[in-house]
Structure 1
Amino acid sequence: MASRFLSNPLSPIAVLRPLNSSDLKACIKSCIHQFMTPSSSATNTNEEAMELLGDDDRRVLDAIENEEDVEDEVGEVVRDGEGGGAGLVFTSEKIRKPSPFDIRILESWFARKSKKTRASTVLIISIPEFERFDTIVFQDLVKLCSASLDTLPFVFLLGISTTLDIVHNNLHKSVLRLLRCERFVLSKSDDCLDAIVEQVFLKYPGGIKFNHEVFSLIFNHFKNNHRSVTALLDTIQYTAMSHCYANAMSSMMLYDGISQIQPEMIRKLRQQDSFERYGKRLVAQEQWEFVQQLIDNNDMLPQLIQYAQTELNSFHVMQSFAIEFLRCTKNYLKVYKWNSLYNLYSRVLSSEDIVKDDVVQDIVKKIKWITPKDMEGLLRSWVTGLGACQISENTYETALKFTTLLEELLARHMRNKNDQDSYSSSSENEDEERARFERQTAGLVQKRLTKSALKAGIMHHALVEDKKSFKYLAIRVSMEFEQFVRTWLGKGYKECLWYEMQYYENAKTPMTNFQPHPRPIIQTALGATSDYLSCRCCRASDVLHPSALDISLVYRLHNECGHMINLFDMFTGFELVVRKEVPKPAKMDIQARFAAALTHLEFMGFIKPTTRKTDHALKLTASFL
Structure 2
Amino acid sequence: MDHTVSVSKGCFVHKRQKRNKNTPKKQSSLTTNRQPWYNAYKSLWSSLEVKLESLQEEVFSQILENLVLYIQNCHINKSRNKIRNEIPSATLLTGVNLPDHEALFATLSSQLHDKVTPYVATLQARHCATVRSAIEHLVLQFMNYNKVQRDDDLEETVKDNIKKNQYNFLTLSAWYKEQLRSKSPKKKSKNKPALEMDKDAALVVIIPNVEGFSPHILQNFILIASGYINSLPLVFVFGVATAVCALHRSLPYHVSSKLCNEVFHSQPSTAYLNQVLEKVVLTSTCPFQLDDKTFKLLTDIFLFYDLSVYGFIQHYKYCMMEHFFNCDHNVLCCSISELSQNIKSLSKEQLEELRQLPSFRRYVDTLPKKEKAPLLLDDHHFKEVLEELMTELHGYLLNLHTYLRCLHTLTASLPKSPLGKQLREVYNMAICCDISESPQFRECFQLLGFQSREELLDKLGKVLGFLESASSNMSVKVSHLKDVQEELSKYYTSIANMGIEATEQPLKSPSKIDIGENINRYQLKEKLLELSRKQKPLSAYEETRKNLLDYLAGSVFPQFLVPPTNVPFNEVFFFNNVARVKRHIVGTPRAAIHMALNNPHYYLECKCCKLDKTSSIIPSMPDICIVYKLHLECGRLINMYDWLQAFLAIVNPSELGEEQRDVAPEIQARFTRAVAELQFLGFIKPSKRKTDHVTRLTWGAS
TM-score range, shorter chain: 0.5 to 0.7
SS of the residue aligned with 2:288? Answer: coil
SS of the residue aligned with 1:5? Answer: strand
1:260 is matched with 345
Which of 534, 550, 561 is 1:458 aligned to?
A: 534
Shift of the 299–412 alpha-carbon distance from structure 1 to 2, 3 Å rule, reads: same
1:97 maps onto 2:97 in alignment = no
| 1-structure distance, mates of 2:140, 2:603 | 43
1:276 maps onto 2:365 in alignment = no
| 2-structure distance, mates of 1:226, 1:419 | 50
Is residue 140–residue 155 contact of structure 2 (8 Å, CA) maintained in 1?
no
| 2-structure distance, mates of 1:419, 1:219 | 44
1:386 is matched with 467
Is residue 318–residue 395 contact of structure 1 (8 Å, CA) maintained in 2?
no
| 2-structure distance, mates of 1:396, 1:353 | 21
Is residue 120–residue 205 contact of structure 2 (8 Å, CA) maintained in 1?
yes
SS of the residue aligned with 2:489? Answer: helix
| 2-structure distance, mates of 1:531, 1:35 | 52
| 1-structure distance, mates of 2:150, 2:505 | 76
2:267 is matched with 187
Which of 500, 507, 516 is 2:571 aligned to?
A: 500
Is residue 28–residue 101 contact of structure 1 (8 Å, CA) maintained in 2?
yes
SS of the residue aligned with 1:124? Answer: strand
1:481 is matched with 552
State the one-letter code of the partner of 1:457.
Answer: R
Is residue 206–residue 236 contact of structure 2 (8 Å, CA) maintained in 1?
yes
Correspondence 1:199-218 to 2 at 5 A? 199-218=279-298
Mark the runs of 5 or more structure 2 residues left unpaired by the alignment.
1-85, 93-107, 181-197, 229-233, 511-524, 575-600, 611-702
Which of 484, 506, 509 is 1:402 aligned to?
A: 484
1:472 is matched with 543
| 2-structure distance, mates of 1:112, 1:127 | 32
Q: CA deviation at 1:313?
A: 1.5
Is residue 355–residue 485 contact of structure 1 (8 Å, CA) maintained in 2?
no
Shift of the 341–111 alpha-carbon distance from structure 1 to 2, 3 Å rule, reads: farther
Correspondence 1:235-250 to 2 at 5 A? 235-245=315-325, 247=327, 249-250=329-330
Deviations, residues 261-307 of structure 1 (Å, cap 9, x unaligned): 11221222223xxx323322432x35222222222222233223322
State the one-letter code of the partner of 2:159.
Answer: V
Which of 62, 80, 90 is 1:5 aligned to?
A: 90
1:369 is matched with 450
| 1-structure distance, mates of 2:142, 2:461 | 54
2:208 is matched with 126
1:324 maps onto 2:405 in alignment = yes
Q: Which shows bigger deviation, 486-495 or 292-301?
A: 486-495
Is residue 125–residue 157 contact of structure 1 (8 Å, CA) maintained in 2?
yes
Is residue 330–residue 336 contact of structure 1 (8 Å, CA) maintained in 2?
yes
Shift of the 300–155 alpha-carbon distance from structure 1 to 2, 3 Å rule, reads: same
Q: CA deviation at 1:61?
A: 12
Larger-gyration structure (1/2): 1
Shift of the 59–28 alpha-carbon distance from structure 1 to 2, 3 Å rule, reads: same
Q: CA deviation at 1:97?
A: 3.2
Correspondence 1:169-180 to 2 at 5 A? none
| 2-structure distance, mates of 1:402, 1:289 | 36
Q: CA deviation at 1:393?
A: 5.9
1:439 is matched with none
Shift of the 297–373 alpha-carbon distance from structure 1 to 2, 3 Å rule, reads: same
SS of the residue aligned with 2:290? Answer: coil
Identity %: 13
State the one-letter code of the partner of 1:316.
Answer: L
SS of the residue aligned with 1:459? Answer: coil
Shift of the 483–151 alpha-carbon distance from structure 1 to 2, 3 Å rule, reads: farther
Which of 136, 156, 164 is 1:67 aligned to?
A: 156
| 1-structure distance, mates of 2:529, 2:179 | 83
Is residue 140–residue 167 contact of structure 2 (8 Å, CA) maintained in 1?
no
1:292 is matched with 373
TM-score for both structures, normalised by structure 2: 0.48
| 2-structure distance, mates of 1:22, 1:121 | 18
TM-score for both structures, normalised by structure 1: 0.53
2:561 is matched with 490
Shift of the 176–289 alpha-carbon distance from structure 1 to 2, 3 Å rule, reads: farther
| 1-structure distance, mates of 2:423, 2:178 | 50
Correspondence 1:218-617 to 2 at 5 A? 218-245=298-325, 247=327, 249-251=329-331, 254-255=338-339, 256-271=341-356, 275-283=357-365, 285-330=366-411, 338-349=420-431, 352-354=434-436, 356-358=438-440, 360-372=441-453, 379-389=460-470, 390=472, 392=474, 394=476, 396-410=478-492, 413=495, 417=498, 427-428=505-506, 451-460=527-536, 463=537, 469-483=540-554, 486-487=557-558, 490-501=561-572, 534=605, 536=607
Identify which of structures 1 and 2 has the higher relative contact order when contacts are C-alpha pairs closer than 8 Å and 6+ apart: 2
- Matched pairs, number: 428
Is residue 249–residue 265 contact of structure 1 (8 Å, CA) maintained in 2?
yes
Shift of the 99–488 alpha-carbon distance from structure 1 to 2, 3 Å rule, reads: farther
Deviations, residues 94-114 of structure 1 (Å, cap 9, x unaligned): x44338988876565567799
| 2-structure distance, mates of 1:108, 1:429 | 86
| 1-structure distance, mates of 2:139, 2:565 | 53
Deviations, residues 72-110 of structure 1 (Å, cap 9, x unaligned): xxxxxxxxxxxxxxxxxxxxxxx4433898887656556
Q: CA deviation at 1:476?
A: 1.0
Shift of the 534–175 alpha-carbon distance from structure 1 to 2, 3 Å rule, reads: farther
Deviations, residues 426-449 of structure 1 (Å, cap 9, x unaligned): 73369x9xxxxxxxxxxxxxxxx9
Shift of the 21–340 alpha-carbon distance from structure 1 to 2, 3 Å rule, reads: farther
Is residue 364–residue 482 contact of structure 1 (8 Å, CA) maintained in 2?
yes
SS of the residue aligned with 1:123? Answer: strand
State the one-letter code of the partner of 1:97.
Answer: K
Q: CA deviation at 1:475?
A: 1.4
SS of the residue aligned with 1:199? Answer: helix
| 2-structure distance, mates of 1:34, 1:99 | 16
Shift of the 403–119 alpha-carbon distance from structure 1 to 2, 3 Å rule, reads: closer
| 2-structure distance, mates of 1:367, 1:62 | 59
Deviations, residues 521-556 of structure 1 (Å, cap 9, x unaligned): xxxxxxxxx9999551699xxxxxxxxxxxxxxxxx
State the one-letter code of the partner of 1:409.
Answer: Y
Mark the runs of 5 or more structure 1 residues left unpaired by the alignment.
39-49, 51-57, 72-94, 433-448, 504-529, 540-625
Shift of the 105–365 alpha-carbon distance from structure 1 to 2, 3 Å rule, reads: farther
